[in-house]
Amino acid sequence: MDPKLLEILVCPLCKGPLIKKMGRSELICSPCRLAFPIRNDIPVMLQQEARELPADEEIK
């Protein structure tokens, strides 16, 4: 995924920054504890497509 795109993308719910973890095809919002999938190098920024992160899953 293009790093410049990651700089301008924000969480659609809280408008907070997103984190891209190495080796994962997801963008993570820490405050909302949601992981938005990246499919074919395109981030899917829909709440219904996001995965809720379990309490025990580390974000950073």
DSSP letters, 4-53, are HHHHH-B-TTT--B-EE-TT-SEEEETTTTEEEEEETTEE---GGGPEEP
Q: Is residue 10 situated within a structural domain?
A: yes
Q: Which domain holds residue 21?
A: 3-52
What is the pLDDT averaged over residues 33-60? Answer: 93
- As given in the structure block, the two tokens for residue 31 are 């405050």
Q: Is residue 58 situated within a structural domain?
A: no
What is the pLDDT averaged over residues 39-49? Answer: 94
pLDDT at residue 23, as a whole number: 87
pLDDT at residue 48, as a whole number: 97
Percent of the chain predicted with pLDDT > 70? 98
Residue 27 neighbours by CB distance under 10 Å? 25
For the stretch 10-33, pLDDT in tens is: 999 999 999 998 888 999 999 999
- As given in the structure block, the two tokens for residue 40 are 């074919």
Q: Tell me the CATH number at 37.
A: 2.20.25.10
pLDDT at residue 2, as a whole number: 78
Rounded to the nearest integer, the mean pLDDT of the chain is 92
